[in-house]
Amino acid sequence: MKSSLINNVLDADLPSIDRAEGVWLYDTAGRKYIDGCSGAVVATIGHAHPHVLEAMGRQAAKVTFTHRGAFTSADADDLANRLCAFTGYQGAWFVNSGSEAVEAAMQFALQFFRETGQPDRDWFLSMTRSYHGNTLGGLSLSGHARRVVAGALAHQFPALPTAYSYREKGDRSESDYAADLLRGAREQFEEHGSRLAGIVVEPVGGATLGATVPPAGYLEGLRALCDEFGVLMIADEVMTGLGRTGKPLALQHWGVKADLVAIGKGLGAGYTPIAATLVDGGIIAAIESGSGRVLGGHTYAGNPLSIATASAVFDVLTADDFIMKGDEKATYLRSKLVSLQDEHELIGDVRGVGMQIALEFVQDREAKSTNLETGALARSIARAAMDHGAVIYVCTGGFNDAVQISPPLNITREELDILVDCIDRALADVAADLAMVGVPA
């Protein structure tokens, strides 16, 4: 009997998950897979962590849901306080997903300018090749294949080129590349500055291009432009936040602080749907001295079960140098992947920050090109990796052939060796197929 379940690919024949533990996933057919991408760069602390499971059970026996308009809780206050102390912000607004966190950041920005007598500031600037979520607001900011589903409902905001050193820096120095990007950004600020409420940036690229790293000076320059033109800086750290890149927030690698930050995946770490928008004190003060109300909210946001679960996840993240140890293992993983690049011509680039690493695949290294449909090579390598027992994350923007290698931070070196070996075998399989018939099996 055909299932009534709708998958992204309607005729997809996917294995059925049975259980998971640590960095390992087990299907109902008895096969096991190493989680080389934390699902969708979500499971930061791995699967079935006993501290989190115990907290979930304890909270479920007490109360699982109350609406934020009727009750708060000591746990919610405590989690917000700890998150803000950890990241350097004054307020945390809980929602259910990263898409909602980005949408909430946009709404906070719009409300800030209404509260301060600047209602005409209702546009946002983003990057041409980015992904900020599956809501209409998020898709309006995104240059991503998924945007097409929104059609004319997605707002046509102005956009900047995405910093993409591998393909677009060319012979320029990093500082010259950053300066050229910032010249273009200044033109957009000068043209649209009176309408701009915010600029939305991914400090390190995510689902669209795969762990792209901006040139030194670029994010600092965008922050300076925001200050000059009175525009709010909004960081989409749904994928990068809470230790994934080796710091509480990825922007901290460049000494930059945004006015609003969307965090998500690492907050619930796959144990519960929860995300948050981190809010700077100036925005909170403007609302306090104005209407005194935040005009938004979601039914399940901040529910007691998700709060307790995220609190337990946060315990693990902040204990025993967990993030620092994960960053050390990320350095080891990257060195192994660079060595793999020496062995496989299909790897054109290895890039990333911390445990957010990407491989971009090509058939011709010099031309940085493939003669297949965009994305086909990456999908083939990911399928081959799964055949060898490793799950990796295919970038879905429609612009390149890249995958993210972003396992849980608690992966061991021995498990990293297994992961790299699976990728090695997958690359050899696909290369053999290409050599024989010109297309992957």
Q: Which residues pair with 394 in a beta bridge?
A: 403
Q: For residue 390, is pLDDT > 70?
A: yes
Q: How many CA atoms lie within 13 A of 10 on its CB side?
A: 1
Q: What is the mean pLDDT of the chain?
A: 95
Q: Which helix (H) or strand (E) holds 210?
A: none
Q: How confident is the model at residue 397 (pLDDT cuts 50, 70, 90)?
A: confident
Confidence at residue 297, expressed as pLDDT on a 0 to 100 scale = 85
Amino acid identity at 132? H
Per-residue pLDDT, 154: 82
Is the pLDDT confidence value at 159 over 90?
yes
SS3 88: coil
Residue 440: strand pairing partners:
none
Q: Give the Cα separation of 227 and 194 in Å (integer).
A: 13
282-303 burial string, b = 16+ CB within 10 Å, else e? ebbebbeeeeeeeebebeebbb
> Which residue has tokens 């602080």?
257
Q: What is the pLDDT of residue 441?
A: 59
Q: The domain at 51-317 falls in which architecture? A: 3-Layer(aba) Sandwich (3.40)
Question: Side chain identity at 177, as an amino acid letter?
Answer: Y
Q: What is the pLDDT of residues 13-71, one digit of tens each?
A: 889 999 999 999 999 999 999 999 999 999 999 999 999 999 999 999 999 999 988 99
Q: What is the mean pLDDT of residues 183-195?
A: 96
Residue keyed to tokens 């059970």: 57
Alpha-carbon gap, residue 409 to 330, rounded angstroms: 8
- Strand locations in 67-130, DSSP E? 91-95, 123-127
What tokens does 156 get?
């046509």
Report whether pLDDT(406) > 90. yes
- Token digits for 86? 């950890």
Residue with tokens 């050229």: 180
Checking if the pLDDT of 439 tops 70, the result is no
Written as one string, the DSSP assignment of 189-208 is HHHHTTTEEEEEE-SS--TT
The DSSP line for 361-416 is E-SBTTTTB-SSPTTHHHHHHHHHHHHTTEE-EEP-SSS--EEEE---TT--HHHH
- CA–CA dist 137, 150 (Å, integer): 10
The pLDDT assigned to 150 comes to 80
In this predicted structure, the answer to whether residue 1 has a pLDDT above a threshold of 70 is no
Q: pTM value?
A: 0.95
Question: Tens digits of per-residue pLDDT, 230-240?
Answer: 999 999 999 99
407-429 average pLDDT score: 98
Q: Among residues 197, 192, 188, 191, which one has the least CA distance to residue 119?
A: 197
Residue 94's pLDDT is what? Answer: 97
Question: Per-residue pLDDT averaged across 78-98, rounded?
Answer: 98
User: pLDDT tens digit string along 193-202?
Assistant: 899 999 999 9
The domain locations on the chain are 17-48+321-437, 51-317
Which pLDDT tens digit goes with each residue over 331-375?
999 999 999 999 999 999 999 999 999 999 999 999 999 999 999
Give the Cα separation of 394 and 359 in Å (integer).
Answer: 10
* Tens of pLDDT, residues 90-144: 999 999 999 999 999 999 999 999 999 999 999 999 999 999 998 888 888 877 7
pLDDT on residue 144 = 74
Q: Among 2-6, 219-223, 402-406, where is mean pLDDT lowest?
A: 2-6
Please provide the size of the chain in residues.
441
Confidence band, pLDDT 50/70/90 cuts, at residue 438:
low
pLDDT > 70 in the chain, percent:
99
- Give the mean model confidence (pLDDT) for residues 315-325: 96
Surface-to-core class of residue 139, CB atoms within 10 Å of its CB (0-12 exposed, 13-18 middle, 19+ buried): buried
Amino acid at 146: R
Answer yes or no: are the C-beta atoms of 263 and 275 closer than 8 Å: yes
**High-pLDDT (> 90) share of the chain, %:** 86
Q: List C-alpha distances in Å: 218 to 143, 196, 377.
A: 20, 19, 31
Among the four given CATH numbers 3.90.1150.10, 3.40.630.30, 3.40.50.1820, 1.10.10.10, the one describing domain 17-48+321-437: 3.90.1150.10
* Predicted pLDDT of residue 31: 97
Confidence band, pLDDT 50/70/90 cuts, at residue 146: confident
- d(CA 21, CA 35) in angstroms, rounded, equals 10
d(CA 274, CA 62): 19
